[in-house]
Amino acid sequence: MAKKKDNNTVVNNFIEQNITETLELNYMPYAMSEIVSRAIPEIDGFKPAHRKLLYTMYKMGLLNGSRTKSTNVVGQTMKLNPHGDATIYETMVRLTRGNDALIHPFIDSKGNFGKAYSRDMAYAASRYTEVKLDTFCNELFKGIDKNTVDFIDNYDGKMKEPVLFPTTFPNILVTPNQGIAVSMASSICSFNLKEVCDATIHYIKNKKTDIKKYLKAPDFTTGGELIYSDEEIDKIYKTGRGSFKVRGKYRYDKKNSLIEIYEIPYSTNIESIIEKIISLVKLNKLKEINDVRNETDLKGLKITIDIKRTADPDKLMSKLYSMTPLEDSFSCNFNILVNGRPKTLGIAEILDEWLAFRTLCIKRQTEYDFDKKWDRHHLLIGLQEIILDIDKAIKIIRETEDDSMVIPNLMKGFNIDELQAEYVAEIKLRNLNKDYLLKQTNAIKDLEKEMSELQDILNCEALINDIIIDELKQISKKYGKPRNTDIIYSEQIDTVSDDDFIEEYPVTLFLTKENYFKKITQVSLQASMRVSAEHKLKENDEIIQTLESNNKNELLMFSDRQNVYKVKAYDLPECKTSSMGEYLNNLLGMEADEKIVYMANANDYKGYMLFAFENGKIAKVEMSAYATKVNRKKLINAYSGRSLLVGALYIEDDKDIILIRDTDKAMLVASSCIPLKQTKSSGGVQVYTLKKNSKMTRIMTKESFITDDAEYYRCSKIPATGHFINEEDKDRNNLPRQINLF
């Protein structure tokens, strides 16, 4: 029998549990632990792993002491962080000066700690490296021993560790932080310390201040150029979400034809950039590059690119920015833990939370100092009572037989409390002189003045703000650095189109009767001619059209189904005369039995297309009829289908053309005599007067027809019957062997 208990059903010793209950009981605690205890930074700018490591080093005396082996620090940190030595050391590496991940590193290091901008430059083992806390850490621990922050037990309850660091500046905006938790993530970019301090000071003075005026933009240790978009930066500053682009910096060595990249985006690395460049070179998309190599050394990062002397370095770099991680986006998600709860905050909200936190730290430190001074003041007041009659005090002590009664007798004799009596009793005999006692009691007034000042601080928020401002000014002056990342505006960047990425060079295009296509470079074609190499063709195939073009040209390919296919020459593969070429049905996605009968350069859609039909008609269509606003690959009804197409011809301007009827007659006529048609699918106008069973078979330019007297065939009006072709011209133009190309 199935039993029910607490909304769960037991069936065959298995418990059927509601999925939502399972998630609440099992998964949610894990998810919250991941969010709160590991992945998301808190308002002091640190994750727990960072805090445990730095606090351990602080307790080891490494703030002012000499360096110690990293292994020693890792071992001591395990008393607070039980997640293993490897993860602790990896955390340490990123915080060191040697790794170059932080503009203001927290750890002064010696040895190889790898580089943040390199994936393959591995750091040395912890037994070989040495570390100590950087002097910058004074700003993290200031007042930590004066009850400025809460402390909690470590994992085994044998030690105490701080919940937060009482940072004297908004470290959350200075130290970059990224983390992925369950169902949420955090990505905080770094800002320049001096700018952060200036912005915070002005914000304290006026909450309506324009933060962007002082906090200009993010700043990274790897430098580069930040492409500034006012709209994007404004969005990030207000919402804590958004992205911006950073690109590398380069210099050109004209003498040696070298491009040296010496700064890269923070979010990428040298190896990824080089691998992408090599890949593009292999794909023939970067023909200007001869070699690329990593020349990073002790002087710093450097990627060297050997380029061809004919290459334009600026255009090449524009290509690299667009096609490689040399220009990369940094996505911001300012998700921060505030009082144990994750919040996505804008810059002003982050400053509000940090100021509230810092104000509390100062109040707690002030209370601590006040209490210490009050205790000292209280003891001195008791001492003052003793000074009035020192002999009496000595007499009480001398006449007291039982040691345990000294304190009670002093309390009774001078009307002081136990603490005061204890303090008096502990004074050394040599200090019972007038000079010493007067010096001690004279400090009472100074203590009262200091206590009054401390009380004023506790009662006045403006005084606390003044303290914060003063600390920020000192930090800015002592640790401030110039920006690493330059700011450039989008309008300063030359607009780069897709055409700029395409290499321009002449090509010759060949079309065969069996629908094969060849694109051959001039260099390859000339090499073939030198060795008298013939075109390799399929059996019984032949070339029906040769077209001189350019790799950047757009081509129009007309099929026997009244379709026109638009294709970029650079999208078509190159081949050699020794290759059969590419089958156009596969390249263009045509129907199985569809064939291309004519191809033309688009030439910015200027000029005309002439379509000659078997019935003696010719349609003259403006090329602009094939231009489209959208990037369409195929247009239907490209020409009329009412009669069989026997030939097509592109002309840039009106010119003389030759029309052939069967194999016996030819007509020379000016294309200007043929009126333009408004639609592509027009049937055309009658040009040839045909007899029964006669048909027009060919159209060509005047220059293509070999004859000694072309004017013999001229007809001044249309329609016309043409002139008989003399036998010599038939032989010259191979007309007896009539070939129906279509």
Q: How far apart are CA 498 and CA 501, in angstroms?
A: 5
| Residue 177 backbone dihedrals phi, psi, to 5 degrees | -145, 130
Non-local CB neighbours of 21 within 8 Å, separated by 6+ positions: 7, 8
The type of residue at 327 is E
Is residue 605 flagged as an active site residue?
Answer: no
| Residue 24 backbone dihedrals phi, psi, to 5 degrees | -65, -40
Integer angstrom CA distances of residue 666 from 524, 569, 661: 37, 35, 6
**Quick check: 373 and 412 in contact, CB under 8 A?**
no
Burial class (CB in 10 A: 0-12, 13-18, 19+), 481: exposed
Q: How far apart are CA 142 and CA 140, in angstroms?
A: 6
Q: Which two tokens stand for residue 495?
A: 């607009």
Helices (H), 224-269: 230-239
Cα angle for residues 171, 174, 178 (degrees, 5° grid): 95
Q: Which residues pair with 666 in a beta bridge?
A: 660, 723
Burial class (CB in 10 A: 0-12, 13-18, 19+), 398: exposed
**Quick check: 539 and 586 in contact, CB under 8 A?**
no
Angle between helices 347-387 and 230-239 (to 10 degrees): 50
Q: How far apart are CA 198 and CA 477, in angstroms?
A: 11
Q: How many residues does the chain have?
A: 742
- Per residue, the 3-state secondary structure of 466-505, as one string, reads HHHHHHHHHHHHHHCCCCCCEEEEHHHCCCCCHHHHCCCC
Radius of gyration of the chain (CA): 43
Q: Which two tokens stand for residue 110?
A: 């010696």
The residue to which tokens 């606390």 are assigned: 464
Q: How far apart are CA 610 and CA 675, in angstroms?
A: 11
Instruction: Give the three-class secondary structure for 96.
Output: strand
Q: Which two tokens stand for residue 499?
A: 């055409």
Q: How far apart are CA 62 and CA 57, in angstroms?
A: 6
* Catalytic hit among 30, 128, 489, 505: 128
Non-local CB neighbours of 302 within 8 Å, separated by 6+ positions: 260, 261, 262, 294, 295, 296
Q: Which residues pair with 700 in a beta bridge?
A: 658
Q: How far apart are CA 644 and CA 731, in angstroms?
A: 26
**Quick check: 296 and 262 in contact, CB under 8 A?**
no
**Quick check: 609 and 564 in contact, CB under 8 A?**
no
Active-site residue numbers?
128
